[in-house]
Amino acid sequence: MPHGESWFSLLPLHERFMAFAAIFGKPFREDGLTWYAHEQPGVQHIYGALFTLLLLVIIAVTTETSIHNAGGNLVPSAKLTVRNFVELLVGGCFTMMADIMGDKAARYFLPLIGTCAFFILFSNALGLVPGFLPATSNFNTTLAMGLVIFSATHIYGLKVNGFHHIKHLFGPIWWLAPLMFVIEVISHVARPISLGIRLMANMTADHMVLTIFLGLVPFLVPLPMYILGTIVVIVQALVFSLLSTVYIAMAIEPAEHH
């Protein structure tokens, strides 16, 4: 399959969607790094994101239906089901968050961090399927997610600590305050960028290596690459969720603890 294309390119409305996307310009190539206004706009990450969201909706409805039909029976099934799989992921995510920010904050922010974790995990996993491109291999997608975490960090930091959320950027030493403020601002601005680049770069590299091995030797030999790819898929979802939790936990920490 040509570079930058996937099975989504066979959709009946693909050409019309490409023409529609071209109206809004072409800020980035498909690799999400450089500016090329003369190239066709990359839309595969949009297909991948929409497909992942649709899959998550189906999984959510299936899980909700299973819980409803259980009639209050909390004993899990002996075999692996969609409900068991979702409960395992949600439980693991909550435990990780609770260890960092406490139970109360973890319950409050679980919908945000949990949604990011599910979206990243399933988007990454889509890249393991030959002929598909993960949405998380594009910087447009990963930067948008990083900006959501960045916004939540400072919105809730201001909500919990008020002016102290800004005050701590100046540091404890008054005569170093201007320098510390510049350093802290750069550090905070770099967070969503680093979150986006780290996830995008790892998923791009993982998908590229797997594609190369599948193209050279399609049977048996790529199996170790699939195992390695699966590990990367899980680790990258964990890293993004972990760092996001840490950033928010630091922002909502009581001012006297800063």
Q: Place 207 in a pLDDT band, splitting at 50, 70 and 90.
A: confident
Q: Place 213 in a pLDDT band, splitting at 50, 70 and 90.
A: confident
Question: What pLDDT score was predicted for residue 221?
Answer: 61
Question: What pLDDT score was predicted for residue 19?
Answer: 73
Number of domains in the chain: 1
Question: What pLDDT score was predicted for residue 113?
Answer: 97
Give the domain extent around 14: 7-257
CA distance 126 to 201: 16
Q: Place 68 in a pLDDT band, splitting at 50, 70 and 90.
A: confident
How many residues belong to the chain? 258
Q: Place 7 in a pLDDT band, splitting at 50, 70 and 90.
A: confident
Q: Is residue 145 part of a domain?
A: yes
Q: Is residue 131 part of a domain?
A: yes
Q: Is residue 2 part of a domain?
A: no
User: Taking a C-beta distance cutoff of 8 angstroms, is the pair 239, 198 a contact?
Assistant: yes
39-53, 138-152, 176-190: the lowest-pLDDT one: 39-53
CA distance 238 to 191: 16
Q: Is residue 81 part of a domain?
A: yes
Q: Which residue reads 């599948």 in tokens?
A: 214
In the chain, the amino acid numbered 136 is T
Tokens representing 42 are 């990359």
Q: Is residue 1 part of a domain?
A: no
Residue 30 has pLDDT above 60, yes or no: no
Residue 255 has pLDDT above 70, yes or no: no
Which range of 120-134, 215-229, 233-247 scores highest in mean pLDDT? It is: 233-247
Residue 73 has pLDDT above 50, yes or no: yes
In the chain, the amino acid numbered 181 is F
User: Taking a C-beta distance cutoff of 8 angstroms, is the pair 243, 197 a contact?
Assistant: no
Residue 23 has pLDDT above 80, yes or no: no
Residue 72 has pLDDT above 90, yes or no: no
